[in-house]
Structure 1
């Protein structure tokens, strides 16, 4: 399914609070924050010239977040960043003086962090980031996971010392339970989705994602003309689209949001012109995108700066994992998890449909930017789908 953005807010300026969260000064602050983080390095921008030639465009670049901060997904930029920011803010309030990143591991800051507990719900990757951030500063983490989260993903979060809490039902059920328990126990909820009255912390999570946009623009020979980004609740899509709109203004690229057909909350929200909760159905293989209710902040941004919304099916996600593992010509192999290559799946569907291709003005001069949002965060599942282990693909 495919629709253009026809909402009343389309192409209106971002609200001042959203523009501040995703603006140039905030993004520069994120990069400064990252300079103090162990394991920080810019992730690679992979060029796929053979695929570009096959699809009739000038260039395809894939920002590969499968190596980000040792966690294997772009989420490493969000949850941990928000946790660290919140600890520094709490330290400033208690100590009565400015506190910055160089003091993060000092005894005074760690003592304060040790009194704090951070909670979130997760499909896997966001919870891993929150747990890593809490461990870095000496805080506690409580991570809520729904029934569909694999034991392998749970173990990957637990290794950071987080308390793991299983919740019956879906991701959205785990979000509600995490918020309820956190309120009861005076924990700080660090969610990557927002709801009425809860926007600032999800905004900080999204702010962390701006780092990958700045890196990609530095790495590309020329700015993209088109961007296809997969979306769950909308955080990554809104962060990328919003920051690009601020940075590039009228030169910003055409931006398409890609949903799983089985969890198309943003697509249906765009079609209705208001936030929509879609009914739960059969689970999607795109586990990190299996969300049925959009983030209010993300929708507010995307309603203004996204140009189109589309869905892809189960077979599309699987096919693109295999395509990236077994690339055309001399294109490099890329390890993309079940949700990692969904933006590419959306692009491939778009160029295969003459009407969609024309609606998005894709042509021989188009430069496509995509994000591999996760590597093989569940290696067993990856090998089952692709037929090769992540190590075999890299070799």
Structure 2
């Protein structure tokens, strides 16, 4: 399903939104994280996929690959640590804390009694647990019924205490808030709700690092025109807001067209586009795209998305699985790529639209389109990846290494 957003604006980036998310703070976040051992020192790859572009019927297709961002395996490594650092700096303002020293554990003794908590579908919780371990504070992670034991183990490996509940993601968010209130802990969540916006803003600001790297790479290729379309994963809206706000501020009225993709059964942003307000999903929210299985849009993220997302769309789980397999296969000119269930969603959205002339035309897609998609995660649940793709992530990575050698030669 595809819906156009009548409130989308191709104007200069509004000052009111710049007060929420802005390029300056995104660059600051990137500088702070540069000293963290869990972050790659190099920009993540921006793969060129000419064979996929030709097969789908667009002029250019490039994929920003966040599976290379961190040993944590996803873009979430950019959000939770930044939010935790800013929280500590606000709470201990009188200590004039140096951010790069903070993330390397310099203040661990002072912070040993600080406890942070969050609900998660997997990747945010793992990143928060890793950041808390590096900084030296305590971490509690609330998991709902649909989070796999494999993901639980990955989070617990960073020393976090795990709390399991029945129910879905939104219920785990509520449970984390109650535990925080009862114990004097601090919630570090990537979704906002009434009275809770500062930390989700900080999380989203970290995601602007992705856009900063994209712009820097394009500046090295002045002969290539800018992208016409950018596909962004949905979830609660944080990633889409963090990336789109940066590109909107950078390009102004000439910004790309933004398309948000989410699971059919977790369509909270699609429903928000219909109502004009941050809304709840209408489905069961039990998608294979675990990182996007969110039932309620972030009101703070929606303030950004409502003004700049041109189209919202939903896809089936089978569409995401097909995209995972297609990216893993690669081709003569396209590297084999490891994209997790949520990571492949943007590519899946493009593939779904290009199968229908009417849908492609409605989204302004065609043979002259230059498209960017984001692979937000690698195989963060290796057994799930193997089951869905039919081979291990290690096998795909080996073929990718062989492809690189052949291309270089």
TM-score tier, shorter chain, comes to: over 0.9
Task: Tell me the residue number matched to 1:48.
Answer: 49
- Aligned residue runs from structure 1 range 283-362, under 5 A: 283-362=286-365
SS at structure 2 position matched to 1:376: coil
How many matched pairs?
391
1:47 Cα shift?
0.9
CA distance in 1, matches of 2:179, 2:105: 29
Residue number in structure 2 paired with 1:253? 256
Which position in structure 1 is the counterpart of 2:35? 36
Cα deviation code 1:81-115 (max 9, x no counterpart): 2112222333323x3xx322243268872222212
Q: Is the 8 A contact 1:195 1:295 kept in 2?
A: yes
Is 1:2 aligned to residue 5 of structure 2? Answer: no
2:191 maps to which of 190, 193, 204: 193
Q: Measure, in 1, the Cα distance between the counterparts of 2:283 and 2:161.
A: 27
After TM superposition, the structure 1 stretch with the greater mean CA deviation from structure 2, 121-130 or 281-290, is: 281-290
Instruction: Specify the SS of the correspondent of 2:158.
Output: coil
Task: Go from structure 1 to structure 2 and tell me whether the alpha carbon gap of 1:355 and 1:69 turns closer, same or farther (over 3 Å shift).
Answer: same
CA RMSD of aligned residues (A): 1.7
1:128 equivalent in structure 2: 126
Say if 1:10 and 1:303, in contact at 8 Å, map to a contact too.
no
Q: Which has the larger displacement, 142-151 or 82-91?
A: 82-91
How far residue 12 of structure 1 moved from its aligned partner, in angstroms, is 7.2
Worse overlay, 83-92 or 337-346? 83-92
> Residue 65 of structure 1 contacts residue 374 of structure 1 at CA under 8 Å; is this kept in 2?
yes
Q: Is the 8 A contact 2:10 2:252 kept in 1?
A: no
Relative distance call for 1:21 and 1:37 in structure 2 (3 A) is farther
Give distance in 2, aligned partners of 1:300 and 1:14. 13
State the distance in 2 between where 1:71 and 1:48 align: 25
Deviations along 1:316-358, whole A, 9 cap, x unmatched? 0110000001123320011011111100111111122212222
* 1:118-173, Cα deviation, whole Å (9 max, x unpaired): 10000000000111110011000000000000000000000110000001100000
The corresponding residue for 2:87 is 86
Cα 1:282–1:288 shift into 2, 3 Å: closer
Please, which runs of 5 or more residues in structure 1 have no aligned partner? Answer: none
Which of the numbers 360, 370, 373 marks the counterpart of 1:370?
373
Check conservation: 1:14, 1:304, Cα contact below 8 A: no
**Matches of 1:67 and 1:77, distance apart in 2:** 12
Per the alignment, residue 263 of structure 1 pairs with 266
Q: What secondary structure is seen at the aligned counterpart in 2 of 1:257? A: strand
In structure 1, distance between residues paired with 2:336 and 2:295? 32
The aligned counterpart of 2:176 is 178
Secondary structure of 1:263 counterpart: coil
| Greater CA drift, 77-86 or 314-323 | 77-86
Runs of 4+ in 1 over 4 A off after TM superposition: 9-17, 105-108
5+ unaligned residues in a row in structure 2: which ranges? Answer: 399-409
2:76 matched residue in structure 1: 75
Does structure 1 residue 61 correspond to structure 2 residue 62?
A: yes
Q: 1:165 to 1:51 in 2, by over 3 A?
A: same
- Aligned match of 2:116 in 104, 115, 118? 118
State the Cα distance separating 1:281 from its structure 2 match: 2.0
Q: Distance in 2 between matches of 1:313 and 1:106?
A: 41
1:298 Cα deviation from its structure 2 partner: 1.0
Deviations 1:239-260 (A, max 9, x none): 1111111111011000001110
1:215 and 2:200 matched: no
Higher deviation after alignment, 219-228 or 314-323: 219-228
State the distance in 2 between where 1:203 and 1:320 align: 31
Asked if residue 26 in structure 1 is aligned to residue 29 in structure 2, the reply is no
Match of 2:404 in 1: none
Q: Normalising by the residue count of structure 1, what TM-score does the alignment of the two structures yield?
A: 0.95
Secondary structure class of the residue paired with 1:109: coil
